[in-house]
Amino acid sequence: ADGYYQYIMAECVYSTSDYSDMVFLVSNSFNKVVYEQYNSTVGKYVGYTELGVKYAENFNKDQAFLQQLKAQVDTFCRHNAQILDSSVRDKA
C-alpha cells in the first residue's frame, strides 16, 4: 500500500524489582526509521537523521518540556510498573 507511516512510541524500560534502573524513552519514527528519541537518562532528545537532529535541537531548547518528560519516570513509569508488578505477584 502506498502512503507514509509515522508513529510515536513511549516506553518504560527496567530490569530491577526496585525500579532503580528505570528509563523513560520516547521514539519518533517515520516509515520505520527512528529519527529522534528522548531518553530520561540522557535528559534530552537525540536526533538520528538530518531532520531528527533539527527537531531534537528545537525540543532541547524547551527546558520546562524536558523536565516534564524526565518526571514521567516517577509519575508514569514507576507508578504503573508498581501496579502491574503487584498484580502479577498477587496471581502467582
Q: What is the DSSP string of 15-55?
A: -STT-TT-EEEEEEEETTEEEEEEETTTTEEEESSHHHHHH
Cα distance between residue 47 and residue 34, in whole Å:
9
SS3 62: coil
pLDDT band for 91, please (50, 70, 90 cuts).
Answer: low
pTM summary value: 0.85
Q: Mean pLDDT over residues 73-78, rounded?
A: 93
Q: Mean pLDDT over residues 71-90, rounded?
A: 87
Give 45: exposed, middle or buried? Use CB within 10 Å, 0-12, 13-18, 19+. Answer: buried
pLDDT band for 59, please (50, 70, 90 cuts).
Answer: very high
> What is the average pLDDT score of the chain?
92
Cα distance between residue 20 and residue 29, in whole Å:
28
Domains of the chain, earliest start first: 6-90 (3.10.320.10)
pLDDT digits (tens, 9 = 90+) for 2-46: 789 999 999 999 998 889 999 999 999 999 999 999 999 999 999
